[in-house]
Structure 1
Amino acid sequence: MDMQKFKPTKVVFPVLFAVAGLFGCSQEEDFVSADNLGQSAVSAATDGSVATNVTFRGRHYIVQSTAEKLPAGLENQIRNANGKVTSLLSQAGVATVYSEDPNFITKASKISGVRSVVRDINVQWLKPEDQKVVELEDYGTPPASGDNDRYFDLQWGHAAIKASEAWNAGYRGQGVRVAVLDTGFDTDHADLAPNIDMSASKSFVTGEGLTYALSGVGSHGTHTAGTIAAADNGIGTIGVAPEAKLILVKVLRDSGSGAFSWIMEGIVHATQQGADVINMSIGAAIPRNGKFLDDNDTPDDPTDDFIVSDTKAVQELLNALSRVTKYATKNGVTVIASAGNEANNGNTDKSLVHLPSGAGSVISISATAPMGWALNPATTFMDNLSSYSNYGISDVTFAAPGGDYIYPGNEIATIGGIRQYVYVFDYVFSTGSNLDPTKASYYWSVGTSMAAPHAAGVAALIVGANGGQMAPALVLARMRATADDLGSPGRDPLYGYGRLNAFRAVTAN
């Protein structure tokens, strides 16, 4: 890290007040809200018995084979069943298909070697409409670290996981490739651009490119990417693994919605592009009873929406995603996902399955946070389980900094030259997008979406310390052996195997 000093400069940047949420409804494309449901669906949707953040996707299907690989000649057989293959995830035994034939499922299910045919789903994975932006003015340079990256001293999460100690030991993610599956990205951001591999980056979202394009300040994808690998370049923030390369993969619309199949395609793409780590700060709690809204192939006419119950669909979607994540793991990719923000106790509530964190071979991350960190950064406990974080023995593998918003006071504090409410400093600070390529943007946010990239950064440091390649099972073992065991001894429902410790992860024998 450089130790130069900057002259005071006036900079305006936002503060994001919202959990990076998982639930919610959008009225775009195939999504419906309680306000525009058909009458038959209103009561079920409003009483919580139906997942209104999920709809079956009209005319789109996911086909799985009985074996891990797709049967030979499947495309021709799908065509004979009046379908068109839109993507072949051959090594995972999964294909996505478009068909206008209302009997396609029946016809395709008869193909030899086919295990199942289910409707694809659209999900509101994130809830950007909850974001509230507040501007402030910065006249200072962070005094505590002496680093010339202007906002490094706001990144308490790095202190919690001892990231700078890992850097001082010589480990900064060199030679590691991290894929970020998320919404759009600010590819021109001064902190990200040096580390982005644009040739490997791609959007799978119909009608939207890789770049974040919503007005206002934000970009969930940019925020998570910056936590992982913002360059140590003397400008703004620093990623946990500042010398790792980023593969940016857009699998959600900038509005936070997206097809289930896009995520699977993104995982396969990242694997084929040589990713060592995949981060998915996305998620949705899917009802195991399979009660969803059906768009009935006419999303422009919400009056015909109705409720369907398809338990098999949930089972098969989970199985398909698990095949794809296991494919990635078999090919050397450590897969990490956020545990979810519903404050759900997975030990007692078995009605939901959280995806993608609940898929096979995925490392699931719960969120931790301080309370009033700005009042005493040196001694404040930073490892409370965040108030919104999901938890449960089988639901959490590790914990990492995600921030929280529950500090009760309205005091004002100054950290690194930034004067702000104390509770704001308990959020996670990272890169954002304001659609102006000449001005780097930053904001605070909260969620397990913010915890997962801290974990992905630690995984990148581990792989880099191993020379740039490492089997996922060994990465997991190293994370497990070096995490700080904060809860009950061993794996516990709050922290899993513990809150990750970057320094111990790269230096322990």
Structure 2
Amino acid sequence: MSASDKLPAGLEGKTAAANGRLTAQLPAIGLATATSTDPGFAAKAAKIEGVRSVIHDFSYQGYNPQPRTLDATAANGAALGSANPFYALQWGFEAMQVPQAWATGARGQKVRVAVLDGGFDLQHPDLQNNIIASESFVPTEPAQFMGMGFSHGTHTAGTVAALDNNLGVVGVAPEAKLILAKVLNDNGTGSFSWMIKGIYYAVAQEADVINLSLGAAIPRSSRYLDDNGTPDNPADDVLVNETREIQELLVAIGKATTYARQQGVTVIAAAGNDANDGNHDGNLVNVPATSPGVISISATGPMGWANDKPGTSLDRMASYTNYGTADVTFAAPGGDFVYPTNELVNFRGFRSNVWAFDMVLSTNRAGGYTWSAGTSMAAPHAAGVAALIIGKHNGQLAPAQVEAALRASADDLGKPGRDPYYGYGRLNALRAVSQLQ
């Protein structure tokens, strides 16, 4: 990382002189990546004039393994205003008044949404015609999802912009275009440099919105004893202090998110699924959710919605969602899986477990569909609403204006004002687009 937002001149040659090889340069934010087999490379490269710091490329688990997923098969269900067969089960649209927003003409026209995630089903019939670009920043894997299980990236992309094509589900902004960047491998793990490169790529592709349904909780300070593989010999223990490297990592991520916002991109991220209390656990920082310029989304979800009982709330806070006054900007539908039993129910022309209907239904690998839950599912709902707002404004709206519109229109469901759970409120698509008329 450079000392400014410019890279030092002749960096490639200077990196080679330090026994390293430059692998990528992000000149607009003063970041570069390099590789080396020399254990002293970091110290040598840090001495290059204009270099602020050289840190390891930390790896992380970008999203949690899904605690419960269940494949959905097309059936003859009640359409409730849409010809897409699974629309009847997309309760998040009811919560945010999405169909009413569509009725005003807001459908995400002229908007580009970049989804940074794991792999994607690039041939999915509910997505293919909305995909305008795709790229993988995972060195060993293509952008196409190659796994056999749940495709997290395909699911989030569908929530944003699945086509309104009388097939499967529909996205919040069905006329928005998708830029798909693979920044985690198909198991959900990756390096922070991949995410940073993905953000840089999204800006270059002229994205209007970036959705980051990924993240990690990082300790602000980290000191520990490394036993060097000899746990029975304390004399071999070495004190490792990663605090400075972590602080520099946070700066690097912040450079990327700040750059995106400065370039006119609204950046939205999942708040995280660890039920962390940001008001009291001061040593943990959730990135990129709390990085500069990022709109952080907590999750709501019903419990027992398919029982169809009066008073069942679609706006109940999800059991797993992170919270904290400074950590959550808004809430959006993310679903939940804590309904305590496994009974089957017939609901709106479909039959499944009660707990399944409480989750978010969207696209999955191999042209399929599945339910899932998490702030990863809440963030794309928010990204879709942002796309509706921008589209309503003819595809041109600055991030500050988008955030102001979201804030002015959100339903303030918690304590008045910004609270630890809903932030400024649960997003309301109809109110958000109506105030722009």
Shift in Å at residue 487 of structure 1? Answer: 0.9
Corresponding residue for 1:203?
136
Equivalent of 1:479, from 384, 406, 419? Answer: 406
Instruction: List aligned pairs for 1:242-257, cutoff 5 A.
Output: 242-257=174-189
Where structure 1 has 5 or more consecutive residues not aligned to the other structure, the ranges are 1-63, 297-303, 435-439
Identity of aligned residues (%): 56
Q: 1:58-116, CA deviations, whole angstroms, 9 ceiling, x for partnerless residues?
A: xxxxxx11112222222222222122111111111111111122111211111221111
Aligned residues: 429
- Three-state SS of the structure 2 residue aligned to 1:114 is coil
The separation in 2 between residues aligned to 1:314 and 1:384, in whole angstroms, is 35
Q: 1:379 to 1:404 in 2, by over 3 A?
A: same
Pair 1:428-2:360 in alignment: yes
TM-score, length-scaled by structure 2 = 0.94
Equivalent of 1:397, from 304, 329, 339? Answer: 329
- AA aligned to 1:207 is T
- Three-state SS of the structure 1 residue aligned to 2:116 is strand
Pair 1:334-2:334 in alignment: no
Shift in Å at residue 508 of structure 1? Answer: 1.3
Shift in Å at residue 411 of structure 1? Answer: 4.0
- 8 Å CA contact 1:153–1:415 kept in 2: the answer is no
- 8 Å CA contact 1:293–1:305 kept in 2: the answer is yes
Equivalent of 2:36, from 76, 79, 99? Answer: 99
Corresponding residue for 1:165?
100
The separation in 2 between residues aligned to 1:143 and 1:377, in whole angstroms, is 18
Shift in Å at residue 146 of structure 1? Answer: 4.5
Where structure 2 has 5 or more consecutive residues not aligned to the other structure, the ranges are 229-235
Shift in Å at residue 137 of structure 1? Answer: 5.8
Instruction: List aligned pairs for 1:36-435, cutoff 5 A.
Output: 64-128=1-65, 130=66, 134=70, 140-197=75-132, 200-216=133-149, 218-290=150-222, 308-376=240-308, 379-434=311-366
The separation in 1 between residues aligned to 2:380 and 2:73, in whole angstroms, is 27
Q: 1:235 to 1:307 in 2, by over 3 A?
A: farther
Corresponding residue for 2:231?
none
Corresponding residue for 2:233?
none
- Three-state SS of the structure 1 residue aligned to 2:276 is coil
- 8 Å CA contact 1:141–1:416 kept in 2: the answer is no
The separation in 2 between residues aligned to 1:413 and 1:251, in whole angstroms, is 38
Q: 1:183 to 1:411 in 2, by over 3 A?
A: same
Shift in Å at residue 308 of structure 1? Answer: 3.5
Q: 1:126-181, CA deviations, whole angstroms, 9 ceiling, x for partnerless residues?
A: 344x555555765x422251422110111001111111111011100000000000
The separation in 1 between residues aligned to 2:370 and 2:237, in whole angstroms, is 38
The separation in 2 between residues aligned to 1:305 and 1:256, in whole angstroms, is 32
The separation in 1 between residues aligned to 2:157 and 2:225, in whole angstroms, is 33
Q: 1:305 to 1:210 in 2, by over 3 A?
A: farther
Q: Which of 72-81 and 312-321 deviates more?
A: 72-81
Q: 1:152 to 1:387 in 2, by over 3 A?
A: same
What is the aligned-residue RMSD (CA, Å)?
Answer: 2.1
The separation in 1 between residues aligned to 2:72 and 2:386, in whole angstroms, is 34
The separation in 1 between residues aligned to 2:73 and 2:165, in whole angstroms, is 22
The separation in 2 between residues aligned to 1:358 and 1:101, in whole angstroms, is 34
Q: 1:234 to 1:93 in 2, by over 3 A?
A: same
Q: 1:291 to 1:401 in 2, by over 3 A?
A: farther
Shift in Å at residue 306 of structure 1? Answer: 8.7
Q: 1:306 to 1:375 in 2, by over 3 A?
A: farther
Q: 1:285-307, CA deviations, whole angstroms, 9 ceiling, x for partnerless residues?
A: 1122235899x9xxxxxxx9998
The separation in 1 between residues aligned to 2:319 and 2:389, in whole angstroms, is 29
- AA aligned to 1:168 is A
- Three-state SS of the structure 2 residue aligned to 1:506 is helix
Corresponding residue for 2:372?
445
- 8 Å CA contact 1:151–1:416 kept in 2: the answer is no
Q: 1:420 to 1:308 in 2, by over 3 A?
A: same
- Three-state SS of the structure 1 residue aligned to 2:53 is strand
Q: 1:157 to 1:293 in 2, by over 3 A?
A: farther
Q: 1:377 to 1:99 in 2, by over 3 A?
A: farther
Q: 1:260 to 1:292 in 2, by over 3 A?
A: farther
Q: 1:126 to 1:69 in 2, by over 3 A?
A: same
- AA aligned to 1:185 is F
The separation in 2 between residues aligned to 1:292 and 1:84, in whole angstroms, is 30
Q: Which of 72-81 and 487-496 deviates more?
A: 72-81
Pair 1:458-2:391 in alignment: no
The separation in 1 between residues aligned to 2:134 and 2:179, in whole angstroms, is 5
TM-score, length-scaled by structure 1 = 0.81
The separation in 2 between residues aligned to 1:386 and 1:243, in whole angstroms, is 29
Shift in Å at residue 353 of structure 1? Answer: 1.2
Q: Which of 220-229 and 415-424 deviates more?
A: 415-424
- 8 Å CA contact 1:385–1:494 kept in 2: the answer is yes
Shift in Å at residue 379 of structure 1? Answer: 4.6
- AA aligned to 1:418 is F
- 8 Å CA contact 2:68–2:372 kept in 1: the answer is no
The separation in 2 between residues aligned to 1:345 and 1:338, in whole angstroms, is 15
Q: 1:149 to 1:201 in 2, by over 3 A?
A: same
Corresponding residue for 2:232?
none
- 8 Å CA contact 1:185–1:210 kept in 2: the answer is yes
The separation in 2 between residues aligned to 1:287 and 1:293, in whole angstroms, is 16
- AA aligned to 2:372 is S
Q: 1:137 to 1:118 in 2, by over 3 A?
A: closer
Corresponding residue for 1:467?
394
The separation in 1 between residues aligned to 2:334 and 2:6, in whole angstroms, is 38
Q: 1:372-418, CA deviations, whole angstroms, 9 ceiling, x for partnerless residues?
A: 11122775211111110000011101100001112234443223321
Q: 1:471-505, CA deviations, whole angstroms, 9 ceiling, x for partnerless residues?
A: 11111111111111111111111111111111111
The separation in 2 between residues aligned to 1:370 and 1:207, in whole angstroms, is 39
- 8 Å CA contact 2:173–2:384 kept in 1: the answer is yes
